[in-house]
Each structure stands twice: as C-alpha cells, then as structure tokens.
Amino acid sequence: MYVCICAAVTEKQVLQTLACGACSVKALQQKLGVASRCAKCARCAHELVQQHRQKQQRLTPPAANDDVIAVEQSLALTPAEGFAVS
Ligand code: FES
C-alpha cells in the first residue's frame, strides 16, 4: 500500500526506515520524501510512527526501578537468603 503517492513511498518502505532508526515524520520526510509535496500523507505517516513507537515500547523491557533496587540493597539480600537472581 502506498503511504505517499507524490513520492511513491510504500508502507513497507516506511516500516523499514522506522526499523532502521527513523523516529519521526520529519525523519521519514528527509529519508524518503514523505509529506514533502502535498502533505496529504502526513497523518498516515504519523500513525505509522506512533504504531512503531508503541511496538518498540512493548518490546523494550522496563527500566530498572530505582526504588526496588534501593530496597534490595537496604535489605542486603543474597541468593543464599532466598533472593532470586534473574
Ligand atoms: S501524498 Fe505524500 S506528499 Fe503528497
């Protein structure tokens, strides 16, 4: 499916560009020419960027919680005391 008719850019090209590190419509515009003429594709490109971000967030493990780390350190738990190390 074409995302941008003016620049003949497909959804597959947009997704590949996002997977290679592009993270905004501006980046897609610079790399592929999306939304650089009539800009009717800008909304569709924006939605693809948002979907990609959400997918990345689901795949990225949560950052270490400083509060949990502080509690673990204050208790000085070790694996021998039943503290599970994963
Ligand atoms: S459809 Fe993308 S710039 Fe016109």
Q: Domain boundaries in the chain?
A: 2-78
Write out residues in the chain with pLDDT < 50, as ranges: none
**Residues 40, 75: Cα–Cα separation, whole Å:** 58
60's torsion region: left (phi>0), alpha (psi -120 to 50) or beta?
A: beta
**Residues 40, 6: Cα–Cα separation, whole Å:** 9
Which residue's C-alpha comes closest to atom 2 of ligand 1? 4
Model confidence pTM above 0.75: no
**Cα–ligand 1 centroid distance for 18 (angstroms):** 18
Ligand 1 neighbourhood includes 26 CB (under 6 angstroms): no
Ligand 1 neighbourhood includes 5 CB (under 6 angstroms): yes
Domain 2-78: CATH superfamily is BFD-like [2Fe-2S]-binding domain (1.10.10.1100)
CA 26, 27, 30, 34 torsion: positive or negative?
A: negative
